[in-house]
Amino acid sequence: MNDLLKAIEMPPNPNIPELRPGDTVNVFLRIMEGGRERIQEFRGTVIRLREGGNEASFTVRRIASNGIGVERTFLMRSPRIEKVVVERRARVRRAKLYFLRERTGKAARLKEKFE
Amino acid sequence: MLKGLIGKKIGMTQIFDERGAAVPVTLIEAGPCYVTQVRRPEKDGYSAVQLGFVEVNPKRLTSGEWGHLKAANLPPLRYLREFRVKSPDVAVGDKVTVEAFSVGERVDVVGTSKGKGFQGGVKRHHFAGGPKTHGQSDRWRAPGSNSSNTDPGRVYKGSRRAGHMGAQRVTVQNLKVVLVDPERNLIGVRGAVPGPKGGLILIKEARKQ
Structure confidence by residue, pLDDT tens digits, B122-142: 999 999 988 888 888 888 888
Give the nearest partner residue to A78 out of B16, B179, B188, using CB atoms.
B16
CA-based radius of gyration for chain A:
15
Q: What interface predicted TM-score (ipTM) does this complex get?
A: 0.72
Q: What is the pLDDT of residue B32?
A: 86
For chain B, percent of residues with pLDDT exceeding 90: 34
Alpha carbon distance B148, B171 (integer Å): 34
Residue type, B195: G
B27-73 tens-digit pLDDT: 999 878 889 888 888 888 888 899 998 888 888 888 888 888 888 88
Query: Domain ranges in chain A?
Result: 10-102
3-state helix, strand, coil in chain A (%, to 5): 15, 45, 40
Q: Do A78 and B188 touch (CB under 8 A)?
A: no
Contacting residues of B for A53, CB less than 8 Å apart? 13
The CATH number fitting domain B33-96, selected from 3.30.160.810, 3.90.1150.10, 1.10.260.40, 3.30.450.20: 3.30.160.810
Contacting residues of A for B16, CB less than 8 Å apart? 10, 54, 77-79
- Please tell me the least confidently modeled range out of B71-75, B122-126, B164-168, B192-196: B71-75
Q: Which fold has domain B1-31+98-124+161-209?
A: Elongation Factor Tu (Ef-tu); domain 3 (2.40.30)
Q: Which fold has domain A10-102?
A: SH3 type barrels. (2.30.30)
- Please tell me the least confidently modeled range out of B8-12, B72-76, B175-179, B197-201: B72-76
Which residues 47-76 on chain A approach chain B with CB closer than 8 angstroms? 53-55, 75
Q: Do A5 and B188 touch (CB under 8 A)?
A: no
* Beta bridge partners of residue A48, listed in sequence order: A59
B184 to each of A36, B26, B74, B153, B176, how far by Cα in Å? 38, 15, 22, 61, 19
Which residues 6-45 on chain A approach chain B with CB closer than 8 angstroms? 7-10, 30, 32
Please give the mean pLDDT across all residues of chain A: 86
